[in-house]
Chain A
């Protein structure tokens, strides 16, 4: 736990605000010892030495720089997600790890050995392809056994391992089927079993769930996590779906234009994004541009054109620029009919914005509101529907106060 928390909590949080360390997330009432005991989920064994070290790796296609001097350490047993918009270079990076592309510069160290120039069939790394790339002329069994046969494994051992993999992905009884006789979900499992059969040190997954429908995707996410925990294999997944990355990965590397812009736990990525771009890319956020007017005791006063003067707790490291954006996630904006008393947010300063509800969207679990301020700016707020009867619901046209504490918002350089 202690070792975990070292890489789990990024440097961008203020000293007093540890979002997922022992005192923050896991243990609210008692001390550190019970936090150890109350560990909700078994975490994979994580050692200090990185299993995979990517050092200054760059790759261009013609004039297009797909990956730009990227460095990253991934520890053994991690579930790591590469997240980014399409064309950000995440797939190119994954293909360099698999050996399908050769880096123009930089090193890829696996267990201390540079594998940047090693051919794909000589790497202890396997990949699960986005389209699964199952061999259409081979049965499920032969697909799974393909890699084992190439490794020169004895017939008897191959049969044992295939049976083991088939059981692992719950495909019993389908061994003799050809890929075109399987459903999408079953094909996905065959691809997973095939890529895991050789017991790779690192499993690369290229958008593994993109072809599945929503329900199946969610259940498969859980199964993938369970599998990864059980096997202890290092998983590196490439995805453009932030929810998927947040659900499954212990750490997420966000890529943009060939660079890693932030590497953090899902929580830190969401609550302490390193830049305005990341704040907008991951989840929904309200942004108000403004100027730093005052700075005292870790508290900034920012004067904005759209939302007046806002009070914000400063993150670490502090912003150096005067022109900033104040960012607040919609679920942290509360709505009330009258302005809350100053102690309603505890001892924290409260920002109050008066406006009129312009739009109400009922989404089942939450309702999202748009509140139009007098300046014309719109604040989005979302509230969990915790009661079946909508006693707390606001109607369009109603006058409300949207409020949030200084601790709940972020200040980001523009």
Chain B
């Protein structure tokens, strides 16, 4: 046996590990959810039917005949779900644009700081992660509520004469989302911008480009992989966001994550909730593939 083959075996095992992980913790649970989404709701434990009982042996397979796409039909016929999906998309797109507008200048500024200050700035971006996400959102509730810090300050400065309603509005939700996801936008942008060769900007200036032209013609196009990565890194989880809209937004329109929660826990309709989850996943596949492509291209460009 050659030395190469001895070493090849553990290497091959290592390559299998991520696939094993995917199968165990994603594909198998997804199979359960998919199965439930094709089942009917029932007042039972578990709250759906049919239930495969593998102790019955072959007879269990007969249950397959009872599976149907009724729940998916419901998703399309009841506009509650379609509206939730649409709202999720609108919120995710709007938040991603706001994040980009705020995150890009911050990342650009960080990349232009002297080297030793860049590490400090990076620290400041990451520091909020040291506190639980939930606690930070509750803190915002405190700040935004009727007699909260924000209203107190506005009143003290005589900017408003009566407390403003912040909590349970879309503004509060957007504030919460932008606040929470900003690091995910800044970090990939900073990674591309800090790698940028400063002599390219000098060359642009040398060839007659004003600093603004140099930014739009050189810096920005070269930072597009970072923009794409940051945008998708924010967009994808925001679509499925549940906690922030639930705690900060009003209750008159729901994001798909909230609808899911309602179906699961309030209505106890697991099959419909599962169908909604499957549909959401399918909706997110195209941007995920896009993200993967962008990242691969960036890796190739970097190498």
Contact B208 A151 (CB under 8 A): yes
CB-based contact A129/B203 at 8 Å: yes
> Which of A78-86, A131-139, A212-220 lies at the interface?
A131-139
Q: Say whether B222 contacts A146, CB under 8 Å.
A: no
**Nearest opposing residue in chain B for A98, CB measure:** B206
Given contacts A131-B199, A133-B197, A150-B213, contact A194 B207 (CB under 8 A): yes
Chain B residues within an 8 Å CB radius of A133? 197, 199-200, 202-203
A134 to B210, CA, bound (A): 17
In the bound complex, CA of A120 to CA of B211 (Å): 10
Closest Cβ neighbor of A145 among chain B residues: B207
Task: Please give, as numbers and ranges, the residues of chain A lying within 8 Å of B197 by CB-CB distance.
Answer: 131, 133
**Cα distance A134–B200 in the bound complex, in angstroms:** 7
Cα A259 to Cα B202 in complex, Å, equals 25
Give CA–CA (A147, B208) in the complex, Å. 6
Report A111-156 residues with CB < 8 Å from chain B CB.
119-121, 125-127, 129, 131, 133-137, 146-147, 150-151
Interface string of B189-204 (1 = CB under 8 A from A): 0000000010110111
Which of A100, A119, A195: most chain B Cβ within 10 A?
A: A100
Taking CB atoms, residues of chain B closer than 8 Å to A121 are 205-210
Contact of A136 among B205, B206, B209, B222 (CB under 8 A): B222
Residues of B within 8 A of A151 (CB): 208
A93 → B minimal CB distance (Å): 16
Cα of A208 to Cα of B49 in the assembled complex, Å: 76
Q: Are A150 and B221 in contact (CB under 8 A)?
A: no
The one of B200, B206, B221, B301 in contact with A120, judged by C-beta atoms closer than 8 angstroms, is: B206
Using known A-B contacts A129-B199, A131-B199, A133-B197, determine if residue A150 contacts B222 with beta carbons closer than 8 Å. no
**By the criterion CB–CB under 8 Å, are B202 and A135 in contact?**
no
Q: Could you say which residues of chain B place their CB within 8 Å of the CB of A146?
A: 204, 207, 209, 217
| A-B pairs under 8 A by CB, number | 59
Q: A137 and B208 in contact (CB under 8 A), knowing A100-B202, A150-B213?
A: no
B218 at interface, CB cutoff 8 A: yes
Per-residue interface assignment for chain A, residues 164 to 196, with 1 indicating a CB less than 8 Å from any chain B CB and 0 otherwise:
000000000000000000000000000000110
The residue among B197, B200, B206 with the most chain A CB atoms within 10 A of its own CB is B206
Contact with B along A309-331 (1 / 0, CB 8 A): 00000000000000000000000
Instruction: Report the count of interface residues on B (CB-CB < 8 A).
Output: 18
Nearest neighbor of B200 in chain A, beta-carbon distance? A133
A81→B53 CA distance, assembly (Å): 88
In whole angstroms, what is the CA distance A120 to B206 when docked?
A: 5
Main secondary structure of the interface of B (DSSP, over half): helix
A137 to B213, CA, bound (A): 15
In whole angstroms, what is the CA distance A133 to B210 when docked?
17
Report if A198 contacts B (CB, 8 A).
yes
Closest-CB distance, A70 to chain B (whole angstroms)? 22
What's the nearest-Cβ distance from chain B to residue A259, in Å?
26
A:208-237 near B, CB below 8 Å = none
Q: Which of B199, B200, B202, B208 contacts A150 (CB 8 A)?
A: B208
Contact A135 B209 (CB under 8 A): no
- Given known contacts A135-B218, A137-B221, is B200 in contact with A119 (CB within 8 Å)? no
Nearest CB in chain A: distance from B168 CB, A:
46
Q: How large is the interface on A (under 10, 10 to 19, 20 to 34, 35 or more residues)?
A: 20 to 34
**Contacts A133-B200, A135-B218 given; does A127 touch B208 at CB 8 Å:** no
Give the distance in Å from the alpha carbon of A135 to the alpha carbon of B222 in the complex: 9
What is the CA–CA distance of A125 and B205 in the complex, to the nearest angstrom?
A: 11
Residues of B contacting A125 with CB < 8 Å? 206
Residues of B163-220 at the interface with A, using a CB-CB cut-off of 8 Å, are 197, 199-200, 202-210, 213, 217-218
A120 touches B213 (CB 8 A): no
Q: A133-B197, A137-B221, A137-B222 are in contact. Are A127 and B209 (CB under 8 A)?
A: no
With a CB–CB cut-off of 8 A, which chain B residues contact A126? 206-207
Cβ of A147 and Cβ of B207 under 8 Å apart? yes
A97 → chain B, closest Cβ, in Å?
Answer: 11
Q: Across the interface, do B208 and A198 meet the contact criterion of CB distance under 8 Å?
A: yes
Contact with A along B263-303 (1 / 0, CB 8 A): 00000000000000000000000000000000000000100
Quick one: closest A residue to B214, CB to CB? A121
Contacts of B208 in A (CB 8 A): 121, 147, 150-151, 198
Closest A residue by C-beta to B198: A133
Within 8 A of A (CB), among B129-179: none
A150 and B206 form a contact (CB under 8 A)? no
Q: Which one of B203, B205, B213 contacts A135 once the chains associate, using CB atoms below 8 Å?
A: B203
Residues of A within 8 A of B204 (CB): 135, 146
Set of chain B residues within 8 Å of A136, measured between Cβ atoms? 222, 301
> B202 touches which one: A120, A134, A137, A195 (CB < 8 A)?
A120
- Which residues does chain B contribute within 8 Å of A120, judged by CB atoms? 202, 205-206
Residue of A nearest to B197 (CB): A133
In the assembled complex, how far is the CB of residue B195 from the closest CB belonging to chain A, in whole angstroms? Answer: 11
Please state if A135 and B206 are interface contacts (CB–CB under 8 Å).
no
Beta-carbon contact of A129 and B202 below 8 Å:
yes
Q: Nearest B residue to A126 by beta-carbon distance?
A: B206
**In whole angstroms, how far apart are the Cα atoms of A121 and B218 in the complex?**
15
Interface residues of A (CB under 8 A from B): 98-100, 119-121, 125-127, 129, 131, 133-137, 146-147, 150-151, 194-195, 198
**Extra inter-chain contacts (6) besides given A100-B205, A136-B301, CB under 8 Å:** A121-B207, A126-B206, A126-B207, A131-B199, A150-B208, A195-B206
B: residues with CB less than 8 A from A are 197, 199-200, 202-210, 213, 217-218, 221-222, 301
Q: Can you list 7 A-B contacts with CB-CB less than 8 angstroms, sorted by A residue number?
A: A121-B207, A121-B209, A133-B197, A135-B200, A136-B222, A147-B206, A147-B208
A-B pairs with the 9 shortest C-beta distances?
Answer: A150-B208, A147-B207, A133-B203, A120-B205, A133-B199, A121-B205, A121-B208, A127-B206, A137-B221
